[in-house]
């Protein structure tokens, strides 16, 4: 799974206002067209970005949340359609959530993204 790195990529996903809300995080998503594929990033790859604000906790807590999100996003990336950009935005409750709870939410969140994209 590729990572969203530039500010413009994050803004492009967040401007679409398509999202799936879970208890501890929000999944913002947008389908990428061929003109948005940058350099070596294939249009068929899935890209994910993380947004964990200071409201979640101190730096140690935020980094722990980001590590969990990266592991879970890698685990469930096959649930997403190809060519999608995803921004996972943590809610403050994500810091206290168990790994198992985040695991269930990530699976259902990514499945919901796929279902909604199928309807659009």
Domain ranges of the chain: 2-119
- CATH classification code of 2-119: 3.30.230.10
**Sheet of 2-3, strands arranged across:** 2-3, 47-51, 84-90, 25-31, 19-21
The model's pLDDT over 26-38, given as tens digits with 9 standing for 90+, comes to 999 999 875 455 5
Cβ proximity of 112 and 28 under 8 Å: no
Q: Note the pLDDT of residue 41.
A: 54
Ramachandran category for residue 100: left, alpha or beta (phi over 0 → left; psi -120 to 50 → alpha): alpha
The model's pLDDT over 48-107, given as tens digits with 9 standing for 90+, comes to 999 999 999 999 999 999 999 999 999 999 999 999 999 999 999 999 999 999 999 999
């Amino acid at each position: 799974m590729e990572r969203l790195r530039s500010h413009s990529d994050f803004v492009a996903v967040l401007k679409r206002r398509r999202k799936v809300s879970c208890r501890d995080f929000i999944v913002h998503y947008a389908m990428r067209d061929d003109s948005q594929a940058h350099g070596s990033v294939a249009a068929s790859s899935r890209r994910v970005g993380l947004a964990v604000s200071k409201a979640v906790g101190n730096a140690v807590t935020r980094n722990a949340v980001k590590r969990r999100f990266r592991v879970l996003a890698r685990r469930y990336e096959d649930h997403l359609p190809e060519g999608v950009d995803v921004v996972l935005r943590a809610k403050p409750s994500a810091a206290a959530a168990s790994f198992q709870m985040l695991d269930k939410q990530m699976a259902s969140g990514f499945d919901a993204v796929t279902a909604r994209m199928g309807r659009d």
